[in-house]
Chains A and B, each alone.
Chain A
Amino acid sequence: MAQEMTEEKSKPALRRDIDENLKRVYESALEPEIPDRFKALLAQLKAQQDGAQQNAVKEDSQ
C-alpha cells in the first residue's frame, strides 16, 4: 500500500489537477437547458419592454 507514496505531485501538476477538477465541478452545475422559471421570466420582461416600446414609438409602416 505504500507503493504509490513515491509519486508526489509537483506544483504545476497539482495546479493542473486542481484546475481540471474545478472545471469538472463547474461543469457538473452547467445544465444547457434553461429552467422554465427563467424562460417565463425573460418572456415576461420582454413583453413589458415591447409594450413600453410600442407606447413610445407608435407602430410605423412595415
Chain B
Amino acid sequence: MNGDAATNPAADPRDELATHIPALRAFAISLTRNVPEADDLVQEAILKAWSNFDKFQVGTDMKAWLFTILRNTFYSARRKTRREVADPDGVHAGALSVRPAHDGRLALADFTRAFDQLSDEHREVLILVGANGYSYEQAAEMMGCAIGTAKSRANRARARLAELLELDEGEDILSSPASFQAVAGPGGPQAA
C-alpha cells in the first residue's frame, strides 16, 4: 500500500468528523443524562453521518449538521422506547451535594439538578442556544421548527429553569415575590 499521495485527505470532509466527537458526546449526554445511552447515540449518529456525507454541504457548519443528525436520532429512538430514566448511572450525581450558596451566583449542583428536570426539548434548546451560542435561527434549523418556536421554547425553558431554582432554594419564593416576577415576566410561563 502506498500510504501517502494516493489520496488527498484535505479534500474529504469525513476527516473533520473526529474533531466533533467530543461536542457530539457532550450534546448527547446533555440530552440523555446517561453516558452509555449517550455513547450509543453518538455511535448511531456517526454511522448515519458517514453514510449521508454526500448530503453534507462543504463549507457549512459540520458540527451543526452532526448535532441535527444526533438529535433526530435521539427523538426517533425516544418515540419508540419512551423510557424515562433520571440519571441512573449518576452522570450528575457527583454534583448533587446540595449546599445553599447565597453568594449571588447559582450553585452548579442546584442548577444541574434543575436542568435534569427539564423536558428533553427544553434541555436541547438551552444547550444549543445557551451553551453552544447558536442563534435562534440556527437552533430552529437544527430542531426543525420555526424561529419563533425556538425563541419561545428557549424562553419557556429559561423560565422553567428559574422556577425550579427558586423552588429549590425554598424560602425565596415566599419571602421575595419580586424575584418570582422577574423570572415569570409578562404573560408568565406557559405550558411546554
Contact = CB atoms under 8 A, between A and B. Distances in A.
Interface string A26-52: 111111111101110110011001100
Contacts of B26: 26-27, 29-31
Contacts of B130: 18-19, 22-23
Interface residues of B, number: 47
Interface in B151-178: 158, 161-162, 172, 175-176, 178
Contact of A38 (B30, B43, B106, B131): B43
Interface in B19-75: 21-23, 25-27, 29-30, 39, 42-43, 46-47, 50
B112 interface: yes
Interface of A: 2, 4-5, 7-11, 14-15, 17-35, 37-39, 41-42, 45-46, 49-50, 53, 59, 62
**In the complex, the 10 A-B pairs of residues with the closest C-beta atoms, listed nearest first:** A26-B131, A22-B130, A29-B26, A29-B29, A30-B26, A21-B111, A22-B131, A4-B102, A8-B179, A19-B130
13 contacts: A5-B176, A7-B104, A8-B182, A11-B182, A14-B182, A14-B183, A18-B106, A18-B126, A26-B131, A29-B29, A42-B18, A46-B14, A50-B7
